[in-house]
Amino acid sequence: MNCELAHERIVLAAYRELSDEQAHELDRHLAACPECSQEQQQLQALKTLATAYPVVEPDPNLVARSRIRLEEALDALPPKRWYERIGQRIVNNFSNLQAAPVAALLLLIVGAGAGTLGGYEYAQARAAHAAGRKPSMIAANAVPNSDSAQATTVAPTASAEVSNISSIVRQPNSEIVDVTYNQVVPQHIEGSLDDPAIRQLLMLASENASSQGVRDDSVGLLAAECRAGHACQGEGIRDALMVALRYDKSETVREKALEGLQPYVAEDMRVRDAVLEALLNDSDPRIRSAAISELEPVSADTSVRRVLSTIANSDHNPHIRTVSRQALNRAPVFQ
């Protein structure tokens, strides 16, 4: 028997819970081991002392009242918060968890908390920034200072009113800036078709107006003036009609331009070339057919006969080929 087993049996022997054989083995060990024998003597002395001072059993009623008060005091305690309960649960279960899962759980909790706190701080910062910028923008647009009140011009109410900025100059040692700009202001003019200003606007509209209706009206008026013989010479009107015939996307506009050029096919080679181009290249058969009619008075011209011959043989429209052939047959022999 070793000393460790002897210490266990010394306690059991004090309460008479050893068998005879175990008690005999313990006596043999105590006889040979002074330390274990001394421990047995100390335990017997403590037991003798306890017997000399017996413990008085408490009153059962006192025990019952004490238990009730303890339970009432525990019920009066405030419940723990959610993170305290989670922390307590983690602590209670910590010993039953492996190191790696515990570390992962802690990282997850720390990451979630940091992300929530970061998002909250970011939202607060953006709200503070927006709140701080808005008043300054309003003040810049709506509250003029004393210097700007002396400006000779009024700022535009909408950017669409400004056609362009021509200059920007900052006054020395000042916050004042001089800005020169042009505004698009609709204008109205009324006058005769013989008025040079009216004709200039009509020519401008025939070339640059974005509205097809405006181009159609302007080319129609200019063509009517030319057909009526109202001074289409030297004012750029023929040029405007030739540009419309060559490049305008609207068949109606091109057709009106061709009608306006008709009086000048015989006398103006530039007009004749423009009509020949329309005969060769225009996609609308009505315009090609009208061009043949306008060229017929000068069909004896070499360039005109050559184009009519080409059209009579190669145009994909049978009607255009027939009309060209008839025009060639009616044309006089070489002039």
Q: Cβ of 45: how many Cβ atoms within 10 Å?
A: 10
Tokens of 170: 């900052």
Crossing angle of helices 34-52 and 3-14, rounded to 10°: 20
Mean pLDDT per 10-residue segment, the chain (335 residues): 84 81 86 86 81 72 77 73 68 58 64 66 60 42 43 52 80 86 81 85 87 91 86 78 91 93 88 91 92 88 88 90 88 61
Query: Is there a contact between 306 and 315 (Cβ–Cβ < 8 Å)?
Result: no
Q: Which residues have a Cβ under 8 Å from the Cβ of 88 and sit 6 or more positions away? A: 80
In angstroms, the CA 23 to CA 19 distance is 6
**Residue 143 has what pLDDT?**
41
In angstroms, the CA 37 to CA 28 distance is 10
Cα–Cα distances in Å, from 60 out to 4, 64, 241?
40, 6, 126
Query: Is there a contact between 208 and 179 (Cβ–Cβ < 8 Å)?
Result: no
In angstroms, the CA 199 to CA 201 distance is 5
3-state secondary structure of 24: helix
First to last CA, the chain: 152
In angstroms, the CA 17 to CA 42 distance is 19
**Residue 252 has what pLDDT?**
93
In angstroms, the CA 144 to CA 177 distance is 13
Tokens of 40: 């047995």
Crossing angle of helices 269-281 and 251-261, rounded to 10°: 150
CB neighbour class for 196 (10 Å; exposed up to 12, middle 13-18, buried from 19): exposed
> In sequence order, what E strands does 38-192 have?
162-170, 177-183
**Residue 137 has what pLDDT?**
40
**Residue 207 has what pLDDT?**
84
Q: What is the CA radius of gyration of the chain?
A: 57
Q: Write the single-letter amino acid at 77.
A: L
The position carrying tokens 């056609």 is 163
Torsion angle, alpha carbons of 210, 215, 216, 217, to 10: 120
Measure CA 139 to chain center: 28
**Residue 255 has what pLDDT?**
93
Cα–Cα distances in Å, from 138 out to 130, 141, 142?
12, 5, 6
Query: In residues, how long is the chain?
Result: 335
pTM of the entire predicted model: 0.47
**Residue 59 has what pLDDT?**
72
In angstroms, the CA 130 to CA 124 distance is 10
Torsion angle, alpha carbons of 266, 268, 269, 275, to 10: -70
**Residue 266 has what pLDDT?**
87
